[in-house]
A and B are shown apart, each in its own frame.
Chain A
Amino acid sequence: MHAYEITLLNFLKKKRSASFEELKTTGIGEDALRWAIEELSKMGAISVEREELESVELSEEGKSYLKEFPEERLIKELSKGSMRIGAIKNKIGLIWAKKNGWIKIDGDKVELTGEGRNAIGKEYALRSALSEIAKGVVKESAELGVLSKRKLVRIGKKSIIKNIVLTETGAKLNPIEEGIGPLTPEMLKTGSWRGKSFKAYDVNAESAIIYPARMHPVHEFINIIRSTWIGMGFMEVSGPIIESAFWNFDALFSPQDHPTREMQDTFFLSNPKTIDIEDVEALSKVKAMHEHAWKERWHKDLAKQALLRTQTTSVSVHFIRKYAGIMNANYPVKLFSVGKVFRNESIDYKHLSELHQSDGIIIGDNLALSNLIATLKSFYEQVGFPDIRIRPSFFPFVEPGLEVYYHDDKLNDNIELCGAGIIRKEITKAMGLNKDVLAWGMGLERILMRYLGIERISELYENSVAWLRKRKEIIW
């Protein structure tokens, strides 16, 4: 008989019956305890009283809805305009969107109601309930009823140990140890183990689960990005998160009436409302750059607005300015930064208000698109994208501009990785630097989601202990 079984039996001999919780006070771990109970019950030494509990599990269909319900997909499609009923393949979505009052069907025309428009991108109560259940949280609710009716969840029974009672057989049992159980310091000291045999353990017996303490995957991934750039000879730099519109927008040639400069897209601050631009020389040159290019008045007041940076390119432009003041720099200068950026966005499974970006620049003479492409190709090869593609793209601060993307065969879609280009001469001139500057900026979360195999972006920053303990390793 195993030492655990003996302990358990002796405990029960005194008490006759005990709950599972009480048995844990013997100091036997939960998993070992379950094993010992099982063994003793097989011998007929104890009887186990169980309690049936309701359990709820997701069906395959339910799992596939975690990201998006068909009715949510439908209203998203309809947000681009009404559709003919015949053209809608998503019949499930149609039924439920109608039930929810999200759409109205007029003849054969299907269009969104006001309510439907409001529902786009919002928390959907059914999906919230479903994901709660996926996490193991079950509450009696109207949603649970609907989910069950839609066969997205299965309601079943689960039995748990309630009480353990010593049987007649058990009471008569005189436990004898079969060989040595756990080896103790005492035995080693006295040498009492000599000449005795050790009890053979079941190698498949359950053991306690251990969760190693770990670094957060975002941090781990940032370090992969950092070491890759450092390995390519880049110096790491950083800059402020709270910025003036001047360094985030104006210095980067973004016109003052550009739509991204509205409250709808950018987090402007009410405290502090403004940030002084101490670099008066840059200020007057940037003003001249805008007024020359756009033939419109440029307002210092708008440039002083305080905001949370929307791109780490603000760090790059600070350094372009900084190098204008360094006399004997050893060109080419290669810099990169990693940091948080902020967008005033409604949050859904694809969007967050707070994200990580990495920007880089190379400052030097005679730098061409061919150099930029070679640099980015080399970087992406090292972080697991050997087949990147390049196409032209538009960003206000570069000319020519390009976009790096890859073709995701599983999604059959082109996924954007990075925007890049040669910094406009207007900008380097306004910053007082007579050099070519290659520049790029990339978001990190999207690639990381691919590595971790997660679909909902907000999962990255919920930090539930369960997820931090059990998440996948980053593999590429």
Chain B
Amino acid sequence: MAVTTFSLKFLAALGVDTAKLEGNIDKIGMEVEKTEGDDVYIDITPNRPDLLDSVGFARAMRYLDGKETPKSNFYALKNKPDLTVIASESVKKVRPVIEAMVVKNANLHGKLKYIINFMEKLSETYGRKRKKIAMGMHNLDAIEPPLHYDAKYEGSFVPLGSEKEMSFKQILEEHEKGMAYANTVKAGMYPVLSDSKGSIMSLIPIINSQLTKVKEDTKNLFIDITGTSEPAVRNALNILACMFIDLGFEVYPCIIEREGKELVTPQLSYREVRLRPSLVKRAIGADIDQAKIITLLNKMGFDGAIYGRYVLAYVPPYRIDVLNQQDLIEDIAIAYGYNNIIPMPVAGTSVGIPDEQNEFSDRLSNLLIGMGFSEAVNNYLTNEEINFKRMKKPIDSERVVKLAYSKVEIYSMLRTSIMPGLLQNLSISAHEPLPQRLFETGLVFGVENGKPFEKRMLAFVSEDSRAEFSDIRSYVEALLGTLGIEHKLEAHDDPSFIKGRCAAIVSNGTAIGIFGEIAPDVLESFGISAPVIGCEIEFMPLFERCCAESGRSNAK
């Protein structure tokens, strides 16, 4: 989402009924974040970059209020191409696409600020921080066509807002914009726009030259859009062209000459989308006839016509989000009003079925709660210090699921065991009366042969002034005994437990769990001041054995 600021006065000047603004914005699924004096902050969803602009936004509001009816081919170019841009082959590898237009007889008084804001917002959001697309606006009268778009190794000019001439290198290292967008260009291959006299107009997509600065009294403009994606550049140019047409300026296409071929931009054209009324009904769940569909389309800015059993919708060039029928059906639903749709339960019956493993896990939880253990739910994200070092275990980095990058320093991996989390819970509970008993069921993670795995586990701990091996053994036997799991115990060595006071639970010939007295150096590293006994056991063997015994299938 992109929060955009509009001026209420400017919107009113563009024919928007500002009293109805909040309701209308809600209706189209955007949100008014706040209003401060003349400024209204609106959250615009990323599929509608045409609404980031006051002019485009006002247009949508006028249609919605029925103040204006869309006409197909209203946004069209009547003028002949005015200017040529020659794109050299050298830009192919750095920033291949350029499209452009000329705007004449502009009246920028009171509007320039909004136009610049919009162009910057569009480059930030839709343009992916100028990487995918960026745009420049120049004073046409300060340049000598034809223009050249090349990749240059070096050069210098006076950047916008400066007084002194700077080299490309200086701009990238010292200028505010240069530093902010240096990552969009490769050193030594700078995309540059210059005129026929060789004056540099712009180091793209960083900054324009002071030479072509646009002021409120500038009459004639040259607009360029460059980028890495042809459809994105074209879409952005369409949106801008429609904005200038709405403002009453004269838009002239440009010729882009590249490798001997000529391309005229922009090409404002309407797309015809055929709509099936039956599909509209099927998606919305309301009976809407052809005439009504056209009225609703009009509210959303589409001209429409009846065509046999179909409705033809004319998609204006700035509606770049409309891929096909579905997108129009959404607009029809919005105009119809989601709150006018009568809720209708889904026909047909079905039986609700819980996940068997979750059900079994709940049974384990009930047993543990019955034995006086409270449940903890800890994060899966952890770090090597807690998961390994405090447990006195070696780090087996090959087998650990590692994060490439985390904003939060304490997260670097997914836990391989539940126990460290429970010990940490005890360590922050020092002032609470003993005994403290906790359990947790949940996933642990690892990597085997390059593939990740997720394994469900159950762990429980008890901290008390006296907590001994025989106590934890009693709990383990109570649990396995109740579940009817046949098993034996074997002496086991584990660095987290006191040597000689740790056992492995062996069932059907494989170790499925471990329990014992937690080693004092582990307790010390967690800052726990009373003895702790604990157990960690695999979930699946318990689940499989219990469900096999009860004759229930284990479908998963």
> A residues near B, CB below 8 A?
136-137, 211, 213-216, 218-219, 223, 226, 229-238, 240-242, 257, 259, 263-264, 267-273, 275, 293-296, 306, 308, 330-334, 340, 342, 344-347, 353-354, 362, 364, 366-371, 373-375, 377-378, 389-394, 396, 399-403, 414, 422, 424-426, 436, 438, 460-466, 468-469
Contact = CB atoms under 8 A, between A and B. Distances in A.
A393 B29 contact: yes
A468 B454 contact: no
A465 B432 contact: yes
Closest 9 A/B residue pairs (Cβ):
A370-B285, A368-B285, A392-B29, A230-B352, A374-B343, A400-B330, A465-B429, A394-B45, A233-B350
B92 interface: no
B374 A468 contact: yes
B407 interface: yes
Interface string B423-444: 0011011011000111000010
Nearest to B128: A257
Contacts of A342: 381
A219 B406 contact: no
Interface string B356-380: 0110001001001111111111111
Contacts of B405: 263, 267-268, 344
Given A342-B381, A464-B425, A375 B345 contact: yes
A219 B376 CA distance: 9
Contacts of A234: 350, 352
Contacts of B362: 223
B45 A393 contact: yes
A466 B432 contact: yes
Interface stretch (B321-329, B482-490, B491-499, B534-542): B321-329
B161 interface: no
A354 B374 contact: no
A340 B377 CA distance: 12
A403 B27 CA distance: 12
Nearest to B426: A465
Contacts of A370: 284-286, 341-344
Contacts of A236: 353-355, 358
Given A241-B443, A242-B452, A400 B334 contact: yes
B285 A371 contact: yes
Nearest to A403: B29
B46 interface: yes
Contacts of A469: 374, 432
A19 to B, nearest CB: 18
Contacts of A137: 431
B407 A240 contact: no
Contacts of A241: 380, 443, 445, 454
Contacts of A377: 343
B447 A271 contact: yes
Given A270-B402, A272-B447, A392-B28, A216 B377 contact: yes
B381 A344 contact: no
A399 B334 CA distance: 11
Given A270-B403, A394-B48, 5 more contacts: A233-B349, A242-B452, A368-B344, A399-B326, A401-B330
A240 B455 CA distance: 11
Question: Which bucket holds chain B's interface residue count?
Answer: 35 or more
A293 B323 contact: yes
Given A235-B353, A242-B454, A354-B379, A331 B348 contact: yes
Contacts of B341: 369-370, 373
Given A399-B326, A424-B326, A374 B338 contact: no
Nearest to A240: B454
B13 interface: no
Contacts of B353: 230, 235-236
Nearest to B403: A267
A347 B376 contact: no
B462 to A, nearest CB: 11
11 contacts: A213-B372, A234-B350, A264-B407, A270-B402, A272-B450, A332-B350, A362-B346, A374-B346, A399-B327, A399-B330, A438-B346
Nearest to A292: B323
A364 B346 contact: yes
Contacts of A391: 26-27, 29, 338
Contacts of A294: 231
Contacts of B406: 267, 344, 353
B404 interface: yes
Contacts of A346: 407-408
A97 to B, nearest CB: 19
A430 to B, nearest CB: 14
B428 A462 contact: yes
Centre residue among A233, A237, A391 by max chain B CB count within 10 A: A391
B406 to A, nearest CB: 6
A264 B47 CA distance: 21
Contacts of A366: 282
B397 interface: yes
B350 A333 contact: yes
B19 to A, nearest CB: 20
Contact of B369 (A215, A226, A345): A215
B63 interface: no
A232 B345 CA distance: 11
A213 B373 contact: yes
A121 B298 CA distance: 45
Contact of B329 (A270, A371, A400): A400
B4 to A, nearest CB: 12
B554 interface: no
B132 interface: yes
A126 B345 CA distance: 53
Centre residue among A296, A368, A378, A463 by max chain B CB count within 10 A: A463
Contacts of A367: 346
Contact of A364 (B230, B348, B381, B428): B348
A400 B283 contact: yes
B51 to A, nearest CB: 11
A219 B375 contact: yes
B408 A347 contact: yes
B429 A466 contact: yes
A468 B376 contact: yes
B510 interface: no
Contacts of A242: 401, 414, 445, 452, 454
B402 A465 contact: no
A237 B46 CA distance: 31
Nearest to A378: B345
A219 B365 contact: yes
Centre residue among A233, A392, A468 by max chain B CB count within 10 A: A392
A401 B48 CA distance: 14
Contacts of B357: 238
B404 A268 contact: yes
Contacts of A369: 283-285, 333, 338, 341
A390 B379 contact: no
B93 interface: no
A154 B426 CA distance: 29
A374 B342 CA distance: 8
A228 to B, nearest CB: 9
Contacts of A272: 401, 447, 450-452
